[in-house]
Amino acid sequence: MRFNIFSAVTAILFSSLASAQLSGKVGPTTSTASKAAKKVCNILNYGGVASKNTDNGPAIASAWAACKSGGEVYIPAGDYGMATWVTITGGTGVSINLDGIIYRTGTAGGHMIIVEHTTDFEFYSSTSNGAVQGYGYVFHAAGTYGPRIVRLVSVTNFSFHDLALVDSPAFHLILDTCTNGEVYNTIIRGGNEGGLDGIDVWGTNIWIHDVEVTNKDECVTVKNPSSYILIESIYCNWSGGCAIGSLGAGTDIHHIEYNNVYTQNSNQMLMIKSNGGSGSVYSCSFNNFIGHSNAYTLDVNGYWSSISPNPGNGVLFYDMTFNNWKGTCSDGATRAPIQFLCPSGAPCYGMSAANFNVWTEASTEVLYKCENAYGSGPCLSSGASHTAYAIQTKTVTAVTGYSITTMAADLKAGFGLSTSIPIPAVPTSFYPGLAPISAKLG
């Protein structure tokens, strides 16, 4: 109860900050209704067949060609096989309404659907039942990867919503160099291994909210270069966790804000990851992170050993706030729930961690680790000259106020790699006590 009142208050507080974080309007400039009023290109009229055994790739491409200058590509309820991939390009004022389910049957690499150089675009399901079933387990059982599901490249003024992306053979959704976009009411269910990223985004002025991801890699992750990205109400329901990175030479990332992120059984609640490299990440904030049973929690890691060192003195991190983090980690004595491990060649500064109450499920203490890190909060150095210093570890034997409300049905185990993953419904909550910012359509 106390928690619900608190989140209602923070929701109001952050909705005003929210718009400030974006640099302008996001989403399509005309409605789906006005697009459909112009023209509807039902794939069944362009050679499509509602059958899992038909390749509907060519029909999607033909329907797009007929509607891309204004209209709606319509994939009605039903099952559709897809054996060949499509790159659809040059749309203006066009939507794709996927009420059916697309089943991957082809085995080529690349991406099943690439949409590029398109503006005033909406990819959605009017019933919230639309999905792409990637049948990634067929690859994963054999220890390989296949195509990614959806990639948007240089798409402007767009939205993507009310869809399920399931069991991708590789990454699920990539927003590559996109602008003025919104992604919401989306669920991603992948297998329990690395290389199956949920959402990877780079670009500017993008709002991603009300998204659930299951996999064992990126939940909703910001890549380089990016600015003015707002990410809210994210449910990493057995995932790798959210991140910024990995980062190398020429990093240019700023004005990133994450609010209301719930993470369970993931590699981390948030990692900012680099190893060597150059450039900077600045003016970012991370508020209301809660979770349980995660390996790492807050992990700013300038020496991330899973990538080889990049040329440069290290990526500079500055002016970042981490506020109101709660819950428990798996073992805070083995994996410190706070790590600010900044590069010695570019000590971070202006870091602030406040209201950080994360306790441990195993052991009786948690560690905080700081290295070359300046600012205010646990183990950060307050000095004004930002010189390099060796790792400092603080041991904490009691934390109060860490209890959280868990989500009703946290996934109890990751999805395997050798059996098909069921298609889930788009959920109606992505953070305890919060309804989606926009109501689910279906």
Ligand X SMILES: *[C@@H]1O[C@H](CO)[C@@H](O)[C@H](O)[C@H]1NC(C)=O
192, 237, 263, 328: residue in contact with ligand X (rule CB under 6 A): 237
Per-residue x/- mask for ligand X, residues 369 to 388, rule CB under 6 A? --------------------
Which segments of 134-250 are extended strands (E)? 148-166, 173-189, 199-214, 218-222, 226-237, 241-247
Q: Interacting stretch for ligand X, rule CB under 6 A, among 104-112, 137-145, 386-394, 406-414? A: 406-414
Least Å from the CB of residue 404 to ligand X: 14
- CB atoms under 10 Å from CB of 344, counted, come to 15
Paired tokens of 13? 């507080």
Euclidean distance between CA atoms 50 and 53, whole angstroms = 9
Least Å from the CB of residue 430 to ligand X: 8
* Per CB under 6 A, 153 contacts ligand X: no
* Per CB under 6 A, 224 contacts ligand X: no
Going by the DSSP 8-state scheme, the letter that residue 416 receives in this structure is: -
Least Å from the CB of residue 187 to ligand X: 8
Least Å from the CB of residue 143 to ligand X: 24
Per-residue x/- mask for ligand X, residues 113 to 152, rule CB under 6 A? ------x---------------------------------
Whether the CB-CB separation of 315 and 282 falls below 8 Å is answered with: no
Least Å from the CB of residue 156 to ligand X: 4
Q: 12: burial class by Cβ within 10 Å (0-12, 13-18, 19+)?
A: exposed
Number of residues lying near ligand X (CB under 6 A) = 15
* Per CB under 6 A, 394 contacts ligand X: no
* Per CB under 6 A, 90 contacts ligand X: no
* Per CB under 6 A, 427 contacts ligand X: yes
Catalytic-labelled residue, pool 140, 209, 255, 292 = 292
Least Å from the CB of residue 108 to ligand X: 29
Per-residue x/- mask for ligand X, residues 174 to 193, rule CB under 6 A? ------x-------------
Bridge-based pairing of strands 101-104 and 130-133 is parallel
Q: Which is nearer to ligand X, 384 or 408 (CB)?
A: 408
Least Å from the CB of residue 176 to ligand X: 16
Whole-angstrom CA distances from 170 to 42, 150, 173, 317, 414 are 29, 10, 10, 30, 16
62, 105, 157, 301: residue in contact with ligand X (rule CB under 6 A): 157
Which segments of 275-365 are extended strands (E)? 279-294, 298-301, 316-331, 338-341, 348-362
Euclidean distance between CA atoms 12 and 371, whole angstroms = 36
Catalytic-labelled residue, pool 217, 255, 299, 386 = 217
Judged by DSSP in three states, 301 sits in strand
Q: Which is nearer to ligand X, 18 or 49 (CB)?
A: 18
Q: Interacting stretch for ligand X, rule CB under 6 A, among 34-42, 170-178, 225-233, 409-417? A: 409-417
128, 156, 285, 301: residue in contact with ligand X (rule CB under 6 A): 156
* Per CB under 6 A, 413 contacts ligand X: no
Euclidean distance between CA atoms 262 and 267, whole angstroms = 13
DSSP string computed for 228-259: EEEEEEEEEESSSEEEEEEE-TTEEEEEEEEE
Euclidean distance between CA atoms 240 and 269, whole angstroms = 8
Question: Can 217 be counted among the known catalytic residues?
Answer: yes
Q: Interacting stretch for ligand X, rule CB under 6 A, among 10-18, 269-277, 297-305, 407-415? A: 407-415
What sign has the CA pseudo-torsion 56, 61, 187, 136? positive
The contacts of residue 404 (CB under 8 Å, 6+ apart) are: 3, 290, 291, 292, 326, 327, 432
* Per CB under 6 A, 408 contacts ligand X: yes
Where does this chain bind ligand X (CB under 6 A)? 25, 29, 119, 156-157, 180, 214, 237, 407-411, 424, 427
Catalytic residues: 217, 292
